[in-house]
A and B are shown apart, each in its own frame.
Chain A
Amino acid sequence: MKKIKDFYIKSIAVLLVVLSVSCKKTLETLPQDTIDASVALTTTAGVRASLANIYSTMKGESFYGNRFIGLGDALADNGQATNKSGRYINEVRNISGAHFNHWSGAYIAINRVNIVLEALPGIGDASDAQKTAWEGELKFLRALYHFDLVRTYAYIPGAAVASVDKGGVPLILKATTTAGDALNIVAPRATREAVYAAIYADLDEATVKAPALGAGANAKAFATKEAALALYSRVALYNKDFAKVVSVSNTLITSRGSTLLNPSNYVAGFSTKENPESLFEITYGIESESLGVNVSLQTLFTTLKARAASPKNDQVETNAEPKYPTSETAGFGDLVPTNDLLTALGITAPGNGLFTLAANAGATMITSRSNDIRNRLFEVGSVRRGNVFVECTKFLGRNGFVNTDNVPVLRIAEAYLNRAEAYAEPGAQQNVVLALADVNTIRVARGLTPAVGLTGTALMDEIMLQRRLEFAFEGHRFFDFKRKALNIPKPTTGTTVNFDSFVILPGIPVADIDASKGTLIQNQGY
């Protein structure tokens, strides 16, 4: 019997070991790299960090970090592809699919805006004034994300191909936070009118609630009243709401018109981290934010690491005097100006793209330049990546690190040109004298003589030419064709992309079309 007793004592001991481990607690393992969603957005720190994330999306390759700037010129008549890394060849050829692709990233960011907006009332450690300022900032961001979607994925008001017009884009104004809502979301494309109305509504609040633009360093990195006015001016122009363009531009030019650069400081303005003309810049603060040698705008536009002084900036480098140390490489310089744009900028370079180190070392490639100060931001590239082209140097590691440049999104010059165009358009606001005055403000600021006596088509042509020169390699050109329903000439091939071609609009990601169960309509041709 002793054995049996012994046995029972042992087995009870074993049982105790088994059962002492309570199931629930033993299985608890919480992450340390991430935090519980319910506590993430309850403090000022949480809001600030969320805002940083929402801004940071715009730095990405699909947004202002690369495609928003590069595509505006590649899809139009400003850019030609050099095939140095193989990038942007299809974009320059307007091939189906080589287009904007920020759809998913933008909607994810919009939801994050909405999440923070809905969380604002519950932030315990922030003043009401602070919450109002945040609201203004968030509304600006939501307006910008929606606008960048609707101007690309949909036709622009007054410039649609009716037979293939699928309306605007989905308008997302409420936060999705649960799996159930996320799995079952239904958001068809809203009408263009509804989307623009929502953008107006957000900007109406942003222009009032967002903080004023201060003088501090990096102040332009964030949304301000002035940034909201500048965006409003652009949105109204696209919406062909010319009276609105005039009124918001007036307000903005009154406060910020003096920041317009002139021929003496224009090149310097484009050589510093922050452009004095900017009202809103996508800002890169630290080296690790750089998009790197494959994706950054510097690598896309140029093989250079620094601007050369005259006359070296017009010459092909030599082995003896390279443009930067031979152990270093800079970018690929995949997208460079067409000869057509160079001519418009007043640059004569007959050997563009044909010169090489072997055959032309030391040769002068740019044989003459006009007085247009803007052409000083274009110079002969390096021989390191093959044939030499004239390249745009607006992005040149200005932030102090290679491949890292702030991206000016809204500049004061645009307000002048928007207003000039609005004054030149028919309507109650039409005033060709003021239109000419505005365009001359820009001409003079860029080293040109004032134009005289322009009216009608000649006036509008001059305004559009100044837009082309002013914003070359800043991502505007394609939209200037698109919003005016114009065919796009392709100077390198002598062909034309007609406005009614389906490649004017990008395709919506197929995954979203498939997941929408028929509620989301794809653009024609995809």
Chain B
Amino acid sequence: MANKNTYLFLVSFFLLSIDLLQAEETIDSLKTENLKEFVVTATRPRHETIPVQTLSGDELQKLNSNSIADAIRYFSGVQVKDYGGVGGIKTVNIRSMGTNHTGVDYDGVQLGNAQNGQIDLGQFSLDNIEAISLHNGQKSSLLQPARDFGNAGTVYIRTRKPIFDNDKRYNARANIRFGSFDLINPSALVELKLSETVNASFSTEWLNSSGKYKFRYRRVNPAGEIAYDTTAVRENGDINATRVELNLNGNMSFGTWTAKAYNYNSERGVPGAIVNNVWRRGERIWDNNSFIQGSSTMSFGRWTTMQNVKYAFYRTHYVNNDDKQIKVDNLYRQHEFYFSTANQFDIIKGWSASASYDFLWNTLDADVYGFARPDRYTNLLSLATAINISRFSLTASGLLTFVHDKLQGQKAPGNKHVFTPAVYTSYYLLRDKSLSVRAFYKRSFRMPTFNDLYYADMGNSQLDPERATQYNLGVLYDKSRRGLVSALRFSADVYYNKVKDKIVAYPKGQQFRWTMLNLGVVDIRGVDLSALTTFNPWQELFLTLRGQYTYQRAIDVTNPADNYYRDQIPYIPHHSGSAVVNAQWRGIGLNYSFIYVGARYNQQENIRYNYTQPWYTSDISVSYDFHIGRVKTRALAEINNLLSQDYDVILNYPMPKRNYRFTLSFEI
């Protein structure tokens, strides 16, 4: 059972992406001279009925983010579990419903992990990422794969699309990054205009780090005298990873198409928990993940159709070499095939409908004793309709999911079918459409994963899907104009979620023997607030302030006989928030970000033995853009955890003290 959680790790990448001003923000005035050619002249995107948060372009790169998971910390309503270091696991939990309810979508196709349902965000570099957005509920677009209607919340990752200036035939960029933890991280991106209608991009990177960092544990007695104070070096957190990504984008007479090939290959140590007398462990993991995917979108009059197809192969090799523990050497191989067709029809102006069908096949082969080698066939069918009448919009969708599992040499559990509806609506209170109110109701579920169902001795094939229901009510104010305050955005949402039949580990027999049961009920009430404003106080000086606050009460209401009944669930703080201040003057940028995560409990019972202190970190970065001949150059220096706070996000997984990173980027 030791490797229950070991498939998810995060490589950390922080990268320079191009300065592609996200159209949503429409702060064109922010663009600096040398980046002008990359500004997209897209129109303002559709108004999102459901709360959405986006980080993109320049803003994204200046947030001192190692990885996509780090950037997501700046979204409200989100908790990132972080096991520390460059190679430590980082998982994302939206509105306390659990990591497995969170979908992650990479360039239009959802990433899958049928084994444990958790996505390793670390394999997706920030290097070529244009935008990350987080949707509570679902995207309010009608034309999307059926699968996208299914999650309780989704993180959308969009890579950069090549844009060629005038008669340029290529773009090229090289990055080199180095810093604390013996980090070396070079990367390169080449974009070619193959013809008037087809372009290609090739992106690659290498990341190497010893993962070594100092951490400190200190205790004082009530009189204030030091009981112990020890500093040690985190061991076995090294990583060596490569990523290669090839994209082709094309235009057709009726639409567009894209194709992508992706490979991520890594070897890393698993640092493990720091406990008494144990400072080093012997677990290692090798990942080799590849996928190819293609997509096309075509419009014929009032009918728009989108096709997606994907094949993925994930290979994970896990070894525990610790002399003192059970020897483990397991190989896991996952295959996934996915096909989706989404069709939207505009019935009359202001009324459209869509139907999508997805087929998904997953299989997992593991050389683990007692493992059932499951095959899973998932069929998803969604129907949706949207009405937009002047200031009012309403969307309703329903998703039918059929799941059929097949096992080798065993009787498979019965087929499962689930219907999950969603309704969302919004209304503009003001004529200029700057202020709107919105509401949504959504039901969703997560299938038990292969590990939950079939993992050797622990799995329970009788599990039912875990269900979540969300209610959300919010307001949004969003306005951009000329003058001192060029953009102002504010949103507030209150929500009530209920998770039922939550799949929890339940003890059986003796000595850490577990099984999985549909036992938990969680009641979640929360408030998300976020605000963004851009000032132009003087000449070319621009200031952007971004703030976000989340209150959450997520309590366990499973059974009044439990001694943790109505206690806050583990690792969910009541209060959390972040603040970012960004100043830009000509080529110089300065960024300060602050993250606060309030007190939490590391186990179900809210008693002092389980209390975990709040943590808060300040990160700063300075960037400077200049030209060397034709080459656009950027230098970036970052200091993370400026005040060198010693904290654990997860109990016994210490986080790094102050650390540094430097980046040089060249672009032609």
User: Do A and B form a real pair?
Assistant: no
Q: Which residues of B pack against A, CB within 8 Å?
A: none
Q: Which residues of A pack against B, CB within 8 Å?
A: none
